Amino acid sequence: MIRLNVFIQAGAGNRAAILDAAKALTACSLKDAGCVAYDIFESATRPDVLLICETWADAPSLAAHSASDHFQKYVGQIEQLGTMKLEQFEF
């Protein structure tokens, strides 16, 4: 299994738009083959920070997700509105 923690720091005034894109990305991604879990978390101490936590069954499932139209669309939107940092773990 593969776990991704994607930290997002929203640019000034962009938090709501990022959250909307992240929610749309989550709704689509939960339907992807090999998606075990996909959720969004909001920081309790930093209102400009969000976390998308993903779990994938295997590398091919994650690769297919990363190549999907919804990934390209919504991640592109998020990247325009803030900065993203990715942590990846295999277990």
Which residues are paired to 30 by β-bridges?
Answer: none
**What distances in angstroms separate CA 36 from CA 6, 31, 42, 70, one per listed residue?**
16, 10, 20, 17
Q: What is the mean pLDDT of residues 6-21?
A: 96
pLDDT tens for each residue of 17-65? 999 999 999 999 999 999 999 999 999 999 999 999 999 999 999 999 9
Residue 53 near residue 5 (C-beta atoms within 8 A): yes
pLDDT of residue 40: 98
pTM, full prediction: 0.95
Structure tokens at 29: 């991604």
Helix (H, G, I), strand (E, B) or coil at 68: coil
